Structure 1
Amino acid sequence: MPEMFVDKFRALVPKYLDRQWAETDGISYEELEELLGTYKFHVPQALVEFYHAVGGCEDLMEAHDFFWDPDELEIEDGFLLFLDEMDEEANWGIRAEHLAVPDPIVWIRTNSPAPSWQSEEATFSEFVFDMFDWVFDGDVDDDD
């Protein structure tokens, strides 16, 4: 399948970290295949390409909230979890029945007072770009 998001995800490094993207910022497809190949579920293309582009860049993977490492992904409550809020008050995931969609909608689970899921009304790629805009610029531009 042709890459759809890799260049845009790689562009996050110079945009927010004021340096050029380096090979070490990503995870090779070969390593990802080893890390993800043991799962009995499909990992969406956008998430795989995100890991390939910036999965090794701690400055982005832990910029505010914490993206799960590829070998830590799990399905819980019918959602593939991929991101934890820094105070563990929320998690983000993708509905398990939508994992074959290349760029699926992201959902947030707030953990108190009782866990509940709500749509972020954005695809994974849109969510990531908006999140980093918010983290680094304190602003989300809805026109992107």
Structure 2
Amino acid sequence: MTELFLDKFRALVPAYFDEPWVPEDGLSEAELAELREGQDFPLPLAVREFYLAVGASEDLMEAFHYVWDPDELEIEDGFLLFMEDADEKFVWGIKADQLTVPDPIVWRRNNARGSWKNEEGTFSEFMLDMFDWVFDDEAE
């Protein structure tokens, strides 16, 4: 299988923690499959490789917003929800009809209004930019 995003996500560990990436930072194929047992929707390639690369790294999964563990993923309101902010004001998702796209566009829902806004970036772009923003902001 082609790994398009795995190395970019693995590179987050040395970039922000000055430590080499180790397999324990991510989930194994078996762990991911076990956590997704009973889910009847596909994961986009970028999302799947994100979990394989850093899905076990609490430092990244809870860096600013909370990226949901694979067993917490759910489809609601026509979107696969994967992340929320600490105050639960916003949730991020991918349109459910785009789950076969390797790197789909991310949307943000304002929970109070129930309205969705296009984040104008793919999952990989959005996540890499978010971590860059979080960790650059902490350095200041």
Shorter-chain TM-score bucket reads over 0.9
More moved, 45-54 vs 32-41: 32-41
Identity %: 61
Counterpart CA distance in 1 for 2:110 and 2:81 is 13
Flag structure 2 segments of 5+ consecutive residues without an equivalent.
none
1:23 CA displacement = 1.2
Hey, what's the Cα distance between the residues in 2 that align with 1:35 and 1:2? Answer: 22
Residues in 1 aligned to 2:15 and 2:122: alpha-carbon distance in whole angstroms:
21
Pairwise CA RMSD of aligned residues? 1.2
Aligned mates of 2:30, 2:6 — CA distance in 1: 15
CA shift digits 1:26-60 (9 cap, x unpaired): 00012112222421111111001000000000000
Taking structure 1 as the reference length, the TM-score comes to 0.92
| Residue aligned with 1:117, SS | strand
Residues in 2 aligned to 1:17 and 1:61: alpha-carbon distance in whole angstroms: 14
SS in 2 for 1:121: strand
Residue aligned with 1:138, SS: helix
Stretches (4+) displaced over 6 A: none
Q: Write the distance in 2 (CA, Å) between the matches of 1:57 and 1:79.
A: 25
**Distance (Å, rounded) in 2 between the aligned partners of 1:22 and 1:86:** 27
Q: How many residues align?
A: 138
1:108 aligned counterpart, secondary structure: strand
Letter matched to residue 7 of structure 2: D
